[in-house]
Structure 1
């Protein structure tokens, strides 16, 4: 049975893409967490699964060769619809999954437990899930441990995001520290490709800022003396 979309689906996908983690190479920090989840729950398979538009992609996988599957057959697409852990003790007895190709053929999922990976905005990005080829249960201690490991997965996602933003900030600082060619007359700036652009265009290219325009007091005196005189008179009559 195909899972419905989440209530905040587009917002969820936007946040997932902001992490810039889809289709990135394996990382030890995530692989350590899936190995720990498999050990704690005593199962052969554990995954960090991120639910994309039409697929679930595995950032980390323990005991499985596949790197992704269709979202249509994804167990995790069901798990992200709820706030807490989804446990399927026996897929053969659950009408949502009994005819699922992942159950009736490789990897022959018989047991599944998935904890949603919730962003700081409480949006589910995917799951930390564990899988077995036999029906089973998790005890309370295993569930608590799995939930704790899932929180650590989100922490790693946040660390990657912060590191990327810091790197961008350092690039901007390095740019500012360099000598920037500027025209002595019109104040245009020359970029690395040799093209001249306005100060506004240059800064917008290298920093997330917008501009508003006004006229300072000195320029009002120089270019609009009648306006400057009117402003002085207005100030003189103000209480």
Structure 2
């Protein structure tokens, strides 16, 4: 059964949230990409746009001052509906956009080209896009370069995610290396809030480990002497 549009959108939003990138400060790595995109395509505006549930937020921007717009008026919300690059030569003549406030007023979008940012799992979380105030076309070389830069945006996001995961793992290791209060009788462990719990609960809370339970040979012999040992 094919996933519904609602389930695909939920998975897309979860993928976006997983990068923990929304509303973060500007970063040179992303700003370099939008600068290159604007220069390679010879346009005044270039954006890394991430499409959230109700808005599009710009991780990096060249040529505009606003940090986000409503998703309802977003060109990028259309671009993420397909894996292909969306090119709009003249938005004033396109039924989808001719009445759009971003076309009729600032920033007066006429030309738009947006490459979907696809995660390794295939979720389209936003675009790298370029915008001009006049009708135009991009050459095949410019389109190819824009698509290559879009892949670099996703690579940066993936590097950040892996870095965050490693930092979290190191933090958990630091906790595990500390002196841990353990009951001499029941072997329960006291957490940072002073509550006692099981070893399993403590390790799972710090290392995201799942447990399966069994009984070792010594305990089987002690507690279940009637059960013959395994060959």
Do they superpose with TM above 0.5?
yes
Q: Is this contact kept in 2: 1:76–1:127, CA < 8 A? A: yes
The alpha carbon displacement at 1:64 in A equals 0.8
Aligned equivalent of 2:199: 199
Aligned equivalent of 2:162: 162
Aligned equivalent of 2:11: 11
**Distance in 2 separating the partners of 1:37 and 1:156:** 16
Where does structure 1 lack aligned partners over 5 or more consecutive residues?
A: none
Deviates more, 1:66-75 or 1:172-181: 172-181
**Distance in 2 separating the partners of 1:140 and 1:6:** 35
Q: Is this contact kept in 2: 1:6–1:81, CA < 8 A? A: no
Q: TM-score, normalised by structure 1?
A: 0.91
**Distance in 1 separating the partners of 2:195 and 2:63:** 53
The alpha carbon displacement at 1:131 in A equals 0.6
The change in CA–CA distance for 1:161 and 1:65 in structure 2 (over 3 A counts) is same
The alpha carbon displacement at 1:7 in A equals 7.8
Q: TM-score, normalised by structure 2?
A: 0.94
The change in CA–CA distance for 1:6 and 1:202 in structure 2 (over 3 A counts) is closer
The alpha carbon displacement at 1:216 in A equals 1.5
The change in CA–CA distance for 1:7 and 1:215 in structure 2 (over 3 A counts) is closer
**Distance in 2 separating the partners of 1:160 and 1:64:** 25
Aligned residue pairs, count: 227
Residues 67-125 of structure 1 show CA distances to partners (whole Å, capped at 9, x for unaligned) of: 11111111001111111211111111111110000000111101100000010011111
**Distance in 2 separating the partners of 1:133 and 1:7:** 36
Q: For 1:83-232, what aligned pairs fall within 5 Å after superposition?
A: 83-227=83-227, 231-232=228-229
Counterpart of 2:226 in 1: which secondary structure?
Answer: helix
Greater Rg by CA: 1
RMSD between superposed Cα atoms in Å = 1.5
Counterpart of 2:168 in 1: which secondary structure?
Answer: helix
